[in-house]
Amino acid sequence: MFKKNSIILLFGAVYILLTLYFVWNNQAYFSLASIGLIAVYAAIFYTDFTFLSIAFLTPLSINIEEYTQSFGLYIPTEPLLFGMMVLLLMMNIRKQLFPVEIWKNPIIWAVIFYVLWIFVTSITSSQSIISFKFLLARLWFMVPLLLYGPLVFQKAKNIRTFVWLYVIGMMIAIAYTLVVHASYGFGEKEGHWVMWPFFKDHTIYGAMVAFTVPMVFGLYFSKKHSPLIQAILLFFIVLNLFGLYFSYTRAAWLSVFAAVGVWALIHFRVKFSLLASATAIIGIALFFSWDAIQMDMARNKSEHTTEDFGKKLESATNVTTDASNLERLNRWSCAMSMFEDRPFFGYGPGTYSFEYARFQEPENLTIISTNFGDAGNAHSEYLGPMAEMGFMGLIAMLLIVTSIFYKGITLYYKWPETDSEMKTLILMMILSLVTYFVHAFLNNFLDTDKAAVPIWGFCACFIALEMRLNRANK
């Protein structure tokens, strides 16, 4: 108790001195210093509370790159996650913190393989400093969420709290975006940036709005709520669907349809053999009719700039005049060329945006292409690692996705029917993850807190629930 009180007094003294200094110099930074000290204190003495609060803060975090024009850092989430990572590793050195059961989970195995391969390819990288920064950023997402998360989620109420806090944070971000968007008459062009400063653009905003759709439905149907909570959740559902529609993000809309399809497969317990047979038949049909499909796609002139829902969806297959689609094909072509040039180790984690310019073919350039290649990433969570970390990078990413859905779906089937609330929440998490990893064919956002926190957080929930199930069976 004496040691704890001494630390509190120390933080209090530092806080007062910093506040007096900044006030004396007529600077506003003292408020940031106050928040920082409070965050440090909370992380040390209320680690579980700090961990759960990150779920609420993630949709509302702001990238300081927009203001400093120097480096990207989402505050307050990334400093909190980095601080938690350091604190947890120090605590684990002193005393075994993480249960042995965590290390037996296939999700953790896949993630360890992924991180080790990032480390190897950072050594062989064309720009090692960038690659090791990439590795560090991945670690401060994964270590707190995947290793400490299962400890927090041993209590079922913490899983519900995590979901509720993230949903509330997203509802605030969606409401803000819709209000700003409404002031511009819900124009399609304005829909690309009205979510600023909480989200960089409509693509990541749309992805996370789609991610939230199964969550609000899951919360509503998980159990019988009081009339007030039911009304709030119905409002959230309507708000979420409005946010999804006015995100004007085709990939987000399609990912929600994909989640509905997966829900049907899980709900009706469609056998894997039947699913594999249907996939093979569809694949064969596409192969023999590919020429006709290409001709239809060439005739498709629908543009994504239209505000008509049907036409906008139809524009997803326009590879003739739609600049957004053509630029995505350009990025994918560059990723393939980078892979062919360095098939085993790749160019190094995080280096795509610095290397792809010279792999652009003149016939693939669009009106939004840049000769310097300074306009972003590979637009794929699968092709990006392949270009940056070679064939094994793609394998590592596929192993993570496979392990997540294997453990999630098997956990759903094994979970007792008597606990219908948690069973519904497990299904909700699976469907939310479906929306992201379907969207991931067209975009990649795991390098941001917006996607990393909920995705790795749900993985931690699966790990914690499996540990709980195994202990109950024993």
CA 97 to CA 147: how far, in whole Å?
9
CA 354 to CA 348: how far, in whole Å?
10
CA 145 to CA 463: how far, in whole Å?
11
Q: What is the pTM of this model?
A: 0.88
Please report, in tens digits, the pLDDT of each residue of the chain (474 residues total).
445 455 555 655 565 565 555 555 555 444 455 555 556 666 666 788 889 999 999 999 888 776 666 667 788 888 889 888 888 888 888 788 888 889 999 999 999 999 999 999 999 999 999 999 999 999 999 999 999 999 999 999 999 999 999 999 999 999 999 999 999 999 988 999 999 989 999 999 999 999 999 999 999 999 999 999 999 999 999 999 999 999 999 899 999 999 999 999 998 888 777 777 776 787 677 656 655 655 555 555 555 555 555 555 555 555 555 677 788 888 999 999 999 999 999 999 999 989 998 898 888 788 777 766 555 788 899 999 999 999 999 999 999 999 999 999 999 999 999 999 999 999 999 999 999 999 999 899 999 999 999 999 999 999 999 999 988 877
> What is the reported pLDDT for 471?
86
> What is the reported pLDDT for 301?
54
CB 219 within 8 A of CB 163: yes
CA 311 to CA 359: how far, in whole Å?
32
> What is the reported pLDDT for 28?
47
* Number of residues written out for the chain: 474
| DSSP code at position 195 | T
> What is the reported pLDDT for 2?
43
The Cα-based distances of 174 to 31, 203, 434, 436 in angstroms read 27, 14, 21, 18
- Find where tokens 């792999």 sit: 359
What lies within 8 Å, CB to CB, of 416 at 6+ separation is 423
| Closest C-alpha to 168, from 54, 60, 52, 56 | 56
CA 384 to CA 391: how far, in whole Å?
11
CA 206 to CA 253: how far, in whole Å?
8
For the beta carbon of residue 455, count every other beta carbon within 10 angstroms: 23
Residue 112: both structure tokens together: 């360890």
